[in-house]
């Protein structure tokens, strides 16, 4: 059997857009992905539909996946002929144990590539407004592990050389050893007044920064209850923060939101929200699988006078199936209609002029193209459009591969908001929340429920949500113009 290949990929520090182009291409061609806790789950969305996703972090019923088990899994999957991606937070060569994994692969003659990533020791300070070098403050920079393999886990460092030779020092995962670090830096010549910043969850909206000095930072970190993952940056360069910090000024910075989606067809606002500074957990993840064209429909394609596409996905899969069944598009003689404006673009890209369903006449045989529907949904179409044929060219379902990633994301976050854009999203959330570790009746009362239309708000209210106010626009909310004070429209159950 042909051996596969392993890509040891740096995923960057958290912001999913900080991955390299080569890293992203590796994800897209992977058959198997082993990913760490600090990898942004959004990167997994670029994987193929049948890619196996393996979480290497802490599961609810077990400890961390040991390095030996990770090594063994990489070998087994590669020897079975798969393309494997080992997706690691930050840069794999900076305290990422990539050398150990590469050695195992080399020992077994398994082909591999190492794809660098942006390391958190540089990215987290930048997102806190601090470049690690600056002509006025620092011309040297060092990255130091705050843990090692010693019995007590305290770093065995050339403290004197570090203090004498480096102006900016980044300690990785150093919260538990922060007192030891500060004491040794002072003992070996650093001034107790040297500025220090500890940055937790750097590049995420949950990013939190605590600024102090070598003599005061330990107490400040304790007072703010800061834990790992965190970067500790030591040096005069910290003084640049007040002037050039940018990320924390975004309008939705600090918002950790669950975006509930009732189906794969619902338009996602994730990119809008992230661009405004929010962390967003899509809940749940949906997948789409292609359906078929019934023989009866195929034989009648040239006879239909009207074709109505219910979603953009229906457009894509309908024409995929025409190609699959080798049906010439020129057979279509019908007038084309769609329910959503976005579908117009997809149809016009194929050279088909179309109109919205509101403008559809009532004459002639009708084919409706969409997803696989339940009986009550079909009844609604019968009631609205009368006699017609229906082609379920695709179906959507919850993608269970993302269950672990979603649960882990919810555990790591301090959720501030849940956003509903449709009534289906409310129903799905209420039905699936317990599965993902959310107890509906014990939600933190400070969590805000956001509803984008009056109808959605009414659906949420039927589940026991109490309203505070309604969104100004009943149909669409432009998040680029919203700030936090205008965003919330309901409180949680109470």
Catalytic residue numbers?
Answer: 36, 58, 173
Nearest to 471 by CA among 455, 458, 488: 488
Angle at 328 between CA 326 and CA 332, to 5 degrees: 130
Closest CA to 280 of 95, 163, 418: 418
Nearest Cα to Cα of residue 448 among 277, 275, 257, 271: 257
Per-position DSSP letters for 230-289, written without gaps between them = EEEEESGGGGGHHHH--GGGSTTTT-EEEEE-SSTTSPP-HHHHHHTT-EEEEES-EEEE
CA distance 469 to 358: 31
287 burial level (CB within 10 Å; 0-12, 13-18, 19+): middle
Which residue, chain included where needed, has tokens 């991955």?
A: 19
Q: Cα separations (Å) of 467 from 96, 192, 259, 262, 470?
A: 47, 52, 18, 21, 8
Q: How far apart are CA 12 and CA 88, in angstroms?
A: 8
Within 95-198, where are the H helices?
A: 98-107, 120-127, 159-165, 178-187
CB distance 394 to 291 below 8 Å:
yes
| Angle (CA) 438 441 443, round 5° | 55
Q: How many CA atoms lie within 13 A of 51 on its CB side?
A: 25
Instruction: Name the residue among 307, 259, 267, 298 with its Cα closest to residue 406.
Output: 259
Q: What is the DSSP string of 189-204?
A: T--TT-EEEEEESTTS
Cα–Cα distance measured from residue 27 to residue 417, given in angstroms and rounded to the nearest whole number: 30
**Is the four-CA dihedral 324, 326, 329, 334 of positive or negative sign?**
negative
CA distance 477 to 5: 45
CA distances from 51 to 4, 9, 31, 65, 438 (A): 14, 16, 5, 20, 27
According to DSSP, the β-strands at 279-283 and 366-371 are: unpaired
């Amino acid at each position: 059997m042909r051996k596969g290949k392993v890509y040891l990929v740096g995923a960057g520090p958290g912001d999913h857009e900080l991955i390299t182009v080569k890293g992203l291409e590796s994800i897209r061609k992977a058959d198997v992905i082993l990913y760490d806790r600090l990898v942004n789950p959004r990167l997994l969305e670029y994987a193929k539909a049948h890619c196996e996703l393996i979480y290497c972090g802490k599961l609810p019923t077990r400890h961390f996946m040991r390095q030996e088990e990770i090594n063994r899994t990489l070998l087994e999957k590669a020897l079975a002929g798969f393309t494997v991606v080992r997706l690691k937070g930050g840069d794999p060569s900076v305290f990422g144990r990539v050398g150990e994994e590469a050695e195992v692969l080399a020992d077994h003659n398994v082909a591999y590539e190492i794809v660098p990533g942006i390391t958190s020791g540089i990215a987290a300070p930048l997102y806190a407004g601090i470049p690690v070098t600056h002509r006025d403050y620092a011309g040297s920079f060092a990255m130091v592990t705050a843990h090692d393999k010693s019995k007590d886990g305290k770093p065995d460092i050339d403290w004197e050389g570090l203090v004498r030779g480096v102006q900016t020092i980044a300690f990785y995962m150093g919260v538990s050893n922060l007192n030891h670090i500060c004491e040794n830096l002072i003992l070996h010549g650093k001034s107790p007044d040297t500025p220090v910043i500890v940055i937790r969850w750097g590049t995420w909206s949950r990013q939190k920064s605590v600024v102090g000095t070598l003599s005061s930072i330990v107490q400040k970190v304790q007072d703010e209850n800061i834990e790992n993952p965190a970067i500790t940056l030591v040096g005069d360069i910290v003084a640049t923060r007040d002037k050039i910090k940018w990320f924390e000024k975004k309008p939705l910075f600090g918002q950790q939101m669950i975006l509930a989606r009732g189906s794969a067809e619902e338009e996602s606002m994730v990119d809008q929200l992230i661009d405004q500074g929010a962390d967003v957990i899509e809940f749940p993840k949906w997948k789409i699988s292609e359906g078929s064209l019934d023989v009866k429909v195929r034989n009648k394609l040239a006879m239909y006078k009207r074709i109505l596409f219910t979603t953009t996905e229906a457009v894509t899969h309908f024409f995929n199936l025409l190609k699959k069944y080798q049906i010439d598009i020129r057979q279509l003689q019908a007038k084309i209609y769609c329910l959503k404006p976005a579908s117009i673009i997809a149809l016009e890209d194929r050279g088909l002029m179309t109109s919205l369903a509101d403008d559809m006449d009532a004459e002639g045989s009708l084919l409706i193209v969409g997803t696989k529907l339940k009986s009550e949904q079909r009844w609604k179409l019968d009631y609205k459009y009368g006699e017609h044929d229906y082609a379920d060219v695709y179906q959507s379902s919850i993608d269970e591969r993302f269950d672990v990633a979603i649960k882990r994301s919810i555990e790591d976050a301090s959720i501030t908001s849940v956003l509903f854009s449709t009534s289906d999203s409310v129903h799905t959330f209420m039905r699936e929340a317990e599965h993902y570790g959310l107890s509906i009746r014990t939600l933190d009362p400070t969590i805000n429920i956001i509803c984008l239309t009056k109808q959605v708000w009414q659906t949420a209210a039927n589940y026991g949500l109490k309203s505070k106010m309604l969104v100004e626009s009943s149909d669409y909310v432009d998040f680029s113009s919203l700030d936090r004070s205008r965003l919330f429209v309901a409180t949680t159950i109470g």
